[in-house]
Structure formats: C-alpha cells, structure tokens
Amino acid sequence: MALMGVVGMGVMGVGVAQNLAQAGHRVVVMDRSADTLEKGRGLLARNFRMSQMFGGPRLDVSAMMNAITLTADLGELATAEIVVENITENFELKRDVYRRLDEICAPDTLFVANTSAIPITKLASVTRRPAQMAGVHFMNPVPLKSVVELIPGYHTSPETLDRVRTLLKEMGKQPIQVKDACGFVSNRVLMLTVNEAAYLVYEGTATADQVDEVFRGCFGHPMGPLETADLIGVDTILYSIQTLYENFADSKYRPCPLLAQMTDAGLHGRKSGRGFYTYNRLTAEA
Amino acid sequence: MGDYTAETINDFIHGRFPDAAFTNDDDIFSLGFINSLFAMELVMYIEQKFSVTIPNDELKFDNFRTVNCMAELVHRQALPAVGQ
Ligand SMILES: NC(=O)c1ccc[n+]([C@@H]2O[C@H](COP(=O)([O-])OP(=O)(O)OC[C@H]3O[C@@H](n4cnc5c(N)ncnc54)[C@H](O)[C@@H]3O)[C@@H](O)[C@H]2O)c1
C-alpha cells in the first residue's frame, strides 16, 4: 500500500485525504495548525460515517481513520510516493512549502499542486524537480465531485502525468487536461463571475439571496455564485481573484472591496459559520 | 411528542429555505431546493438538537426524505433499551 502525503488540512485537504483513504491508500496529512488538525479529524470521521448519505459505500469508519495519520511535522512526508499540496492560496506560502518538500522528500516523490489559480509552472520553478510536478484542480467537496482539471506545467514529464492520471483514476476522478495558465479554465471564468456578483451586493443592486436566486431560477444552476463563494471560502475567492489580477495585470480582475472586507472580518463562508449567509455553527463545516 | 420533533425539524428547514412549500410527508429532496450539503447539515442538526447519535446503518437517504421520516428516526433512537 503506497503512502500518500497531503499538505494543508483545510476545506480541500480534508476532502483529498478522505478520497485517498477511500481509494485504499495510507495517508499522512500535515497542517501547521494544531487546531485545524483536531477539527479535521472530526470532519473526516463525520464524512466517513455519512458516506452512504451521498450515494457512497458503507465504510468501516475506524479502518478509514486508521489509514490516516495527522501531523504538524512536514518531515513525516519523507517517504510519500506522491504529495498533494492544498495550503492557503498564497504564492509565498506555497513556495516555502515546496522548497522544504524538495529537501525532505525522496528524489522520486511526485508533487501535485491543488491551487485555484496559481500557474503550475511558477510553483514548479521553486523546486529542483519541475518534471515531477503537475497541477490538479480538485473540485469541492472533493469526494463528491468526479471531474477535475489536470494541468501539466511547462516541464512536467509524460511519466509524471501518467502516474497522476493513474492516481486520479484510483480516486474515481475523470480529468480534463488543460494547458497551464493562471486560473486554468474553471476559475478564469468562475472567479470573475463571483467577483461581479459580490459587486452587485456591494453596490446595493441586489441582495446575495436575490443574486443567487437569479442564477438558480433563471439559469437553472444548482447553486448561485455567492452560495458557491461561501462553499469555496470567501478568503480563497479573494486570493484567487488577486492572483488573476496580478498575473494578467488586467484591471478586469479588480477584486471587489466587499470580498476584502469580509476576509478581514473573518466572514469566510461555511468554514467560519458566516459569509454571504449565516450557518448554524454546529452544522456548517461541510 | 411526535409533533414536537416533526415541527422542530420543519422549522429548521424553513429557517434555511423560507420560501419552500412542503408538508411533513413531502419528499423534500424531490422538491429540488435541498442539496447534499444541506442533507449533512440536517443530520448534524438532528443529532445535536435531540441529543441522539444516529447509527451508521440508519444514515441513509431514505430516512431523511420527509420530515416525518426524520421524526420517526429520532424516536427510534430515543426509545429506552428494553430492561433498562
Ligand atoms: N475551497 C475550494 O473550493 C477550492 C477548490 C479547489 C482548489 N482550492 C485550492 O486549494 C488550496 C487549499 O484551499 P482550502 O479551501 O482548503 O483553504 P483553507 O483555508 O480551508 O485551508 C488551507 C490550510 O492550509 C494550512 N496552511 C497554510 N500554510 C501552511 C503551511 N505553510 N504548512 C502547512 N499548512 C499550511 C492552513 O492551516 C489551512 O488549514 C488553495 O490553493 C485553494 O486555492 C480550493
């Protein structure tokens, strides 16, 4: 049984770890925050328990939990075959983690970057193994979403891509391979939509609920852009639109000040209990 | 008691979806406004509110289709074990 590494145990790290364990892997998950690790353990146990509610198999919760080790020490990822990185959407933070992973991990370990918008080639450039790195843009909630974007960086080798494709197959994912560009396909479009939706609320044109109702009712979308923002994380939306703004040096990506204010105020969406909507604190951390 | 449980669950759903029209016997999932994330919230709400732990075997969609199904599920957990 191969050992898989996961860095970052936020919204995405929990889902990736869960999905890897269900695919039969041993997993070691690292986060720098002890609180997050503790909370993440609870979320994993709950998600395994509820698997059947979402059309998944009935799972042996304790066997699944035993397959996953939580740690605050990046050193425990040394023997991982593949490391999936899911830390905060911030280039400087990710750069520091990749530099350390490059030192710590075996020479043949592959790195998979799960990012909303940061170019994979740029992340790979900080390591000495750009051929062994690829981007996978997982969707949220990870175990429930079967399609992902697969993004080779400029130097990604065909062997790396093959191995990552195999891993995705084990995880039940169907990849859509796209070229490396900031925001890829999905977030080049989605983040602009969410940002404009936030402007509509900021300017008082409509309430969040009205904006979402237009998308659900008129367009038949299952969720509106601002409920989606709460699911993704309002902070992550802000960091992603900032990344697009900086990378393209194009004012059309100017971040809505409301997103910045909400991020500063701790209104991060479901994960913090409040964003564009308020969630029951006991039940919101989906 | 059945009424109280069902009404409490009904209130919780209405609190989140004020415009939704449904009875306690309607299949709320077929009405289209509920997604899997809300289903998870429902499970957690019910466990917290009624101080029950729903056994894994009972964590099935069918037990959550209608408000009355959920209320029955709660009552099954709350029954004292025979002989206690
Ligand atoms: N939320 C989504 O819907 C979504 C979807 C696809 C991709 N992404 C991307 O996935 C990544 C993670 O997003 P998220 O939503 O899980 O964010 P999050 O804020 O929920 O979690 C990020 C986690 O990273 C940890 N972290 C930060 N710096 C660290 C470090 N140096 N070492 C170890 N851990 C560190 C934090 O403690 C936190 O737990 C981001 O790059 C994001 O853009 C998010």
Q: How far apart are CA A162 and CA A1, in angstroms?
A: 19
A141 & A248 share domain: no
Q: What is the pLDDT of residue B19?
A: 82
**Cβ B61–A53 below 8 Å, yes or no?**
yes
Among residues A34, A69, A63, the alpha carbon closest in space to that of A48 is found at A63
> Of the residues A118, A144, A177, which one is the last residue of a structural domain?
A177
The number of distinct structural domains making up chain A is 2
| Chain B residues whose beta carbon lies within 8 Å of the beta carbon of residue A50 | 40, 43, 59
A56 & A155 share domain: yes
Among residues A114, A144, A111, the alpha carbon closest in space to that of A130 is found at A111
A157 & A208 share domain: no
Q: What is the pLDDT of residue A268?
A: 98
Transcribe A79-135 into DSSP letters: T-SEEEE---S-HHHHHHHHHHHHHHS-TT-EEEE--SSS-HHHHHTTSS-GGGEEE
Q: How far apart are CA A103 and CA A114, in angstroms?
A: 20
- Residue A126 sits in a domain whose CATH number is 3.40.50.720
- Cα angle value A77/A78/A81 (rounded, 5°): 80
Evaluate whether residue A284 is within a structural domain: no
| Chain B residues whose beta carbon lies within 8 Å of the beta carbon of residue A223 | 35
Domain that holds residue A205: 187-276
Q: What are phi and psi of A84, to 5 degrees?
A: -100, 120
A152 & A259 share domain: no
- Residue A256 sits in a domain whose CATH number is 1.10.1040.10
What's the pTM value of the predicted model, to 2 decimals? 0.92
- Give residue B1's pLDDT band: very low, low, confident or very high (50, 70, 90): very low
Q: Ligand 1: does its nearest atom lie under 6 Å from the Cβ of A125?
A: no
Close Cβ partners of A267 (under 8 Å, ≥ 6 residues apart): A234, A274, A275
Ligand 1, atom nearest to A12 Cα: 16
A144 & A215 share domain: no
- Cα angle value A223/A142/A198 (rounded, 5°): 35
Q: What is the pLDDT of residue A249?
A: 98
Q: What is the pLDDT of residue B83?
A: 47
Q: What is the pLDDT of residue B39?
A: 86
Rg (CA), chain A: 18
Q: Ligand 1: does its nearest atom lie under 6 Å from the Cβ of A187?
A: no
Q: What is the pLDDT of residue A155?
A: 98
The token pair that represents A101 in the structure block? 């992973």
Evaluate whether residue A283 is within a structural domain: no
Domain annotation for chain B: domains and CATH numbers? 4-15+23-78 (1.10.1200)
Q: What is the DSSP letter of A280?
A: -
A270 & A233 share domain: yes
The C-alpha torsion from B44 through A9 and B56 to B77, rounded to 10°, is -30
**Cβ A283–B56 below 8 Å, yes or no?**
no
Within 13 Å and on the Cβ side, how many CA atoms surround A222?
8
H helix intervals, chain B:
2-16, 36-49, 67-78
Q: What is the pLDDT of residue B82?
A: 57
A30 & A59 share domain: yes
> Of the residues A177, A208, A239, which one is the last residue of a structural domain?
A177
Answer yes or no: are the C-beta atoms of A81 and A3 closer than 8 Å.
Answer: yes
> Of the residues A177, A196, A227, which one is the last residue of a structural domain?
A177
Q: Ligand 1: does its nearest atom lie under 6 Å from the Cβ of A137?
A: yes
pLDDT by 10s per residue, chain A, length 286: 789 999 999 999 999 999 999 999 999 999 999 999 999 999 999 999 999 888 888 899 999 999 999 999 999 999 999 999 999 999 999 999 999 999 999 999 999 999 999 999 999 999 999 999 999 999 999 999 999 999 999 999 999 999 999 999 999 999 999 999 999 999 999 999 999 999 999 999 999 999 999 999 999 999 999 999 999 999 999 999 999 999 999 999 999 999 999 999 999 999 999 999 998 755 544 4
Q: Which residue is closest to B33 within chain A, CA to CA?
A: A222
Binding-face residues of B in 43-82 toward A, CB within 8 A: 43-45, 48, 56, 59-61, 64
pLDDT at B63 over 80: yes
